[in-house]
Structure 1
Amino acid sequence: MSPHTPKRRWSAVLTAERPRPEGIRSRPNGWWLAVGTVCLGAFMGQLDASIVTLIYGSLRTDFHASLAAVEWVSLAYLLTLVALLVPAGRLADAHGRKLLYLYGFAVFTLASAACGLAPSLMALVAFRVVQAAGAAMMQANSVALVTTSAPRELMRRALGVQAAAQALGLALGPTVGGTLVSTLGWRWVFWVNVPVGVVALVGGHYLLPRTRGRTTVARFDWAGLSLLAVATTSALMGLSAASGLAVPGWGAALLFVVAASTGWGFVRRQRQATEPLLNLALLRVRAVAFGLAGALSGYLVLFGPLVLVPIVLTARGSSELTAGLVITVLPAGFALAATGGDRLLPHRLSDRARCLAGAGVFTLASTGLLIVPLATGWLVSVLALTGLGLGMFTPANNAMIMGAVPARSSGTGGGLVNMTRGLGTALGVALVTLALHLVGGGGVQAGARWAGAVLVAASVVAVASASLSPRRDSGASQATP
């Protein structure tokens, strides 16, 4: 045996995708096992996202920090996630979606443990950046693994199940988070990710299929990645500065100028690069372009209330646990509609029609925030209606996008979907915080009305994007196992 054989063997273990056991691969409905494994990642990612919004008060007290500083526990995560989703998807298309997905789980799980041990707010933000890098490898491949595993005619149902898993994570997050913060402390909010991550790693190793079709990446577009990261970071730092972060006015203006110039530079770079980070031709597909606009708006509407409602209720004297129970209604409605909508709605109803119906429902609900009293009973009704509308909208919107993306680029397409979700989530956090800060003198209630106006505007954009989408669903083929 050559002395180099062990090294090659270990290299293969670390860089090659392992096949599923024959008994799993040959099962007629074995693809559901792959979807279920992906759902663990979807659950864990959204559990983490919804829990973190409930620890702002504890972090401000423990680290003696302002709200604008504490919100970077969320924004640092989201910025890193947004910057890395597309490159992670592109690398997964080339080197294997299962491989990147499992490595992402490992990084996310270890970083979650580190977040729970963070000695300072700065250290916590740094660990959240590492955690987001792992989440990017997971999320960039989650939609792609579902769409390339499920039969074409069942893709929307599979995406609905994945969306329901996300909603379940969001639904349990506030309750679990409120209970953990009230009893064990904020550090357990991160440690709760660790056992789920271990189970998902073992399940993914045995249940996820190998990547069948791959694209080649001769040269990675590091310049494009840098421009994208600077553009998104500068834009959200500018919003955070306007929300009360200790940055002078001229500094905030400069951040927006940097964001605009690097954003323009990113687009120009993608047009000129021989191996672009993002193939802009995908954005010229009507279903993809308008679907992504809808995804961004939908996640802004989803996450805005998760920040707003705890602040409103705790300002009125409610506990974090009560606030968590109230906002659980939103993702619970999401999960109900995402799993049951495909069965209850007529099968002949197109993805576009489903998007229009769902967007119309959550637009009506968002308008309620401008009208009804911001008391517990009214908020429960508004949040439930918002969740039902988003649960109708999101799976159909995702199916419309991924149906228009070639199977060989599904990792990149999935990365785009999740990048716009991340941007929508970040904007939901930043714009709600901005509204509350700008109307600070008028009290939380006045700020909440302005935040509601932001959610209504985003809802209208979602309705418009669905209206402008193609009238017929795309018939683009997807690979099946």
Structure 2
Amino acid sequence: MNVLLRERPRPDRIRDLPSAWRLAILTVCFGAFMGQLDASITTLAYPALRTGFHASLAAVSWVSLSYLLTLTVLLVPTGRLSDAFGRKLFYVYGFGVFTAASAACALAPSLDALIAFRVVQALGAAMLQANSIALISNAAPREKLRQALGIQAAAQALGLGLGPAVGGLLVDTLGWRWIFGVNVPVGVVALVGGVFLLPCTRERNPGIKPDLAPLRLHAVRWGLLGAAGGYLVLFGPLVLVPVIMAARGAGALSSGLVLTTLPVGFALGASFLKCRAGVGLGLAVAALAGLLVLPFEPVVLVPLLGVLGLGLGAYAPANNAQVMAAVAQKESGVVSGLLNTARSLGTSGGVYLVTSAIALANHSSGRGSRYAFAGLLIVCLLTLAVSVRPSPHAVPDELVDKFPSPLGPQIGPLVRGDDQQRVGDLRQLPRQKRQPREVGQVEREAAHSQ
């Protein structure tokens, strides 16, 4: 039993590589991509599922709803358990559950069985996603944290944006079962990568009760609101643009090509555009204002969706880094789960906002689309207001991995560089002995040695 609960260290030859942290980030991105891909890939399979199982649209919709609801509910509890038992352990087991459930979904004999297997698949996805940000914040060097979180956010955006296109392609060529079967070989590769490329958990937080103490921090509360708002604005157009293009008589391929500019812009912004969170949201506000008043022509939609993606991509990792920098390492799993829960709620909110706006316009796609973009603009402005709020412990974007100064509560434990042992809490030390700039670096160096 102890063997099953023990994390396996990385091989020495991998741990000693200068690029070891990049390999860990790549492994985490597999989970980020696959988790978001499976959240949206089933929407194009609804007609085939209705035909194959002779079911109504309402019944088939639970193939998606069961996954999304289970994922949202389990993110925080699995994040807390990973803090207690090991983040690498939960991540590796999560990929095992996700891969096995994907194979079961591909072989499901009935709609009820498929829905049940999707619940199990969401459990595995929760174990992956709840840990993703925590694993990155522990593995990446201090000066590379913002870049690492940007890569992870880009992987999520690509998975979310490519889900409908990949799902449609697989359904048309190989059948609906392959939208789940494709996860199996990818999952096996990622499972092996998790065992050999991820560092072990350095600091654990015993107990299984979710510790919501981080919510007392202003940076965490506002950051979670910002994460929900950002993903609401991101996912809304992913639902709305196909409606706009269909009303214009465009085919699925044309709609997909136009829509692809949004997740691609997000990926580029998250990976390469380094700016403060407010600047990124400013770009998003400008793009949404253009989408609200300009005609829905492809020549207009393509550049504006690209700018919207760039702005949201620049904002998301900066916001995540601010949140993770505000908490101790032992709480990173819970906070990572909270961030992913906020994202999931934002994704659901984007779907609800768009469908409600179209319903409010008596299902008129033209007027309903204007209503939807107006609602998205309002949400983006509110998110911008949150991101530029005054903070008593502001953390510069380029120093997101340093602890705020002056030092406040909830700062992580001080670790001596010579023996890597906890010697106390920063709040309990005399002011002249506090070394806030060295704590995060020492903890990450310890994590890299595993």
TM-score of Structure 1 vs Structure 2, range by shorter chain: 0.7 to 0.9
Q: Is residue 58 of structure 2 the alignment partner of residue 135 of structure 1?
A: no
Separation of aligned partners in 1, 2:364 and 2:105: 33
Deviations 1:20-51 (A, max 9, x none): 10111122331211111111111212222342
2:289 maps to: 367
Separation of aligned partners in 2, 1:302 and 1:157: 20
- CA distance 1:198–1:100, change in 2 (3 Å): same
- CA distance 1:469–1:116, change in 2 (3 Å): farther
Identity of aligned residues (%): 58
2:377 maps to: 456
1:393 maps to: 315
For 1:252-401, list aligned pairs within 5 A. 277-279=210-212, 281-342=213-274, 345=275, 354-401=276-323
Number of residue pairs aligned between Structure 1 and Structure 2: 402
What is the CA-CA distance between 1:135 and the residue it aligns to? 0.7
- The residue identity in structure 2 corresponding to 1:292 is L
Moved more, 301-310 or 51-60: 51-60
Q: Is residue 152 of structure 2 the alignment partner of residue 162 of structure 1?
A: yes
- CA distance 1:321–1:128, change in 2 (3 Å): farther
- The residue identity in structure 2 corresponding to 1:472 is V
Q: Is residue 193 of structure 2 the alignment partner of residue 203 of structure 1?
A: yes
- CA distance 1:442–1:149, change in 2 (3 Å): closer
Q: Which of 186, 201, 212 in structure 1 is aligned with 2:176?
A: 186
- The answer to whether the 8 Å contact 1:79/1:426 transfers is no
What is the CA-CA distance between 1:77 and the residue it aligns to? 1.7
- The answer to whether the 8 Å contact 1:97/1:211 transfers is yes
- The residue identity in structure 1 corresponding to 2:202 is R
- CA distance 1:126–1:325, change in 2 (3 Å): farther
SS class of match (1:12): coil
Separation of aligned partners in 2, 1:168 and 1:60: 27
- The answer to whether the 8 Å contact 1:326/1:379 transfers is yes
- CA distance 1:73–1:450, change in 2 (3 Å): farther
- The answer to whether the 8 Å contact 1:59/1:70 transfers is yes
SS class of match (1:324): helix
- CA distance 1:191–1:119, change in 2 (3 Å): same
Q: Which of 6, 16, 31 in structure 2 is aligned with 1:16?
A: 6
1:116 maps to: 106
Q: Is residue 336 of structure 2 the alignment partner of residue 404 of structure 1?
A: no
Moved more, 317-326 or 450-459: 317-326
Separation of aligned partners in 1, 2:217 and 2:265: 31
- The answer to whether the 8 Å contact 1:175/1:325 transfers is no
SS class of match (2:299): helix
Deviations 1:44-81 (A, max 9, x none): 12222342343345445655666665544333222211
- The answer to whether the 8 Å contact 2:24/2:198 transfers is yes
1:445 maps to: 366
Give 5+ residue unaligned stretches, structure 1: 1-10, 222-276, 346-353
- CA distance 1:104–1:211, change in 2 (3 Å): same
2:395 maps to: 472
- CA distance 1:56–1:305, change in 2 (3 Å): farther
What is the CA-CA distance between 1:121 and the residue it aligns to? 4.3
User: What is the TM-score normalised by the length of structure 1?
Assistant: 0.78
- The residue identity in structure 1 corresponding to 2:150 is G
1:417 maps to: 339
Separation of aligned partners in 1, 2:49 and 2:358: 19
Give 5+ residue unaligned stretches, structure 2: 404-438
What is the CA-CA distance between 1:149 and the residue it aligns to? 0.8
- The answer to whether the 8 Å contact 1:174/1:328 transfers is no
User: What is the TM-score normalised by the length of structure 2?
Assistant: 0.83
What is the CA-CA distance between 1:205 and the residue it aligns to? 0.7
- CA distance 1:128–1:318, change in 2 (3 Å): farther
2:408 maps to: none
What is the CA-CA distance between 1:321 and the residue it aligns to? 3.0
- CA distance 1:417–1:436, change in 2 (3 Å): same
What is the CA-CA distance between 1:332 and the residue it aligns to? 0.4
Q: Is residue 81 of structure 2 the alignment partner of residue 91 of structure 1?
A: yes
2:417 maps to: none
What is the CA-CA distance between 1:202 and the residue it aligns to? 0.6
SS class of match (1:369): helix
Separation of aligned partners in 2, 1:61 and 1:469: 55
SS class of match (2:292): coil
1:28 maps to: 18
Deviations 1:141-181 (A, max 9, x none): 11000000112222111111212222332344343233223
Deviations 1:2-30 (A, max 9, x none): xxxxxxxxx23322111110111122331
Moved more, 416-425 or 109-118: 109-118
